[in-house]
Every structure is written in C-alpha cells, then in structure tokens.
Amino acid sequence: MKKIYIVALIMVVGAIAMLTMAADEMTTYSNFAEASKTSSQVKVVGQLSKDKPMVYNPEKDANYFSFYIKDSEGVEKKVVMHQEKPRDFEMSEQIVLTGKMKDDDFFATDMLLKCPSKYKDEEVYINNK
C-alpha cells in the first residue's frame, strides 16, 4: 500500500474522531420545562433574578455558587454551580447556562455572561470541565 493512502486513511479516521467528539459537546437551547424532561445537557438562556438570594461564601466553600434565573418562558429556578462567582456577575443582562436539571434545581457546568452596554459586545465565558 502506498504511503499516501495510509496518510489519507489516518486523516479520515482522525476527522471522524473529531466530529464524534464535537457532537458529544453540542447542546440544544431550551427552557427549564424542556430541561426537566431530558437527562442530557441543555443550554438555558435567562436573566438574573436580582430579588432572590445569591449564595457565595468563599470562606466556607469557594467552589459553590447558587442563584436564581428566569428563563425565556418566565419560569424561575435555582441554579447551582460548583465554581467561584464571576466578577461583576450582578451587572449581567443575560446569562446562558449549560447543564442539567436535577430534582428541581439546574446544575450548571458552563456559563456565558452578556454584560451591559458599558461592556457592549464583550462576553465573558466561564468553563468548568
């Protein structure tokens, strides 16, 4: 077998492997009602409920942060993240969370913050893998 065929075969196998891994990380946008019906990861877009408590106590546990958001349908749920609280979190206009529903809480692994006009067109991506 010629070397070029071997190289081409390795490249095809590598491309298939990369596409398979990328497909595993792809999630769909949904709301809390749809997220509670599935066991796979979803993305929920919402706004921070500023009238509800945020729990972050770095002296006790620096990797526990909980807060409430309201999704696009107006449903409000508690969100739990096992990472530190992002700086200027309270100023975010919109939050995109990736995670799963467990019981009645949403456990997020990734968070994307859309900041207000002061930081227009800037987004902060927080990844916890």
Which domains, ranges and CATH numbers included, belong to the chain?
28-127 (2.40.50.140)
Task: Supply the DSSP symbol for 19.
Answer: H
CA distance 90 to 50: 8
Beta bridge partners of 79: 67, 106
CA distance 45 to 34: 12
pLDDT attached to residue 10: 94
pLDDT attached to residue 2: 84
Task: Supply the DSSP symbol for 74.
Answer: S
Q: 28-78: per-residue pLDDT in tens?
A: 688 888 888 888 888 999 999 888 899 998 889 888 999 999 988 889 999
Smallest CA-to-CA distance from 58 within 86, 34, 79 is with 86
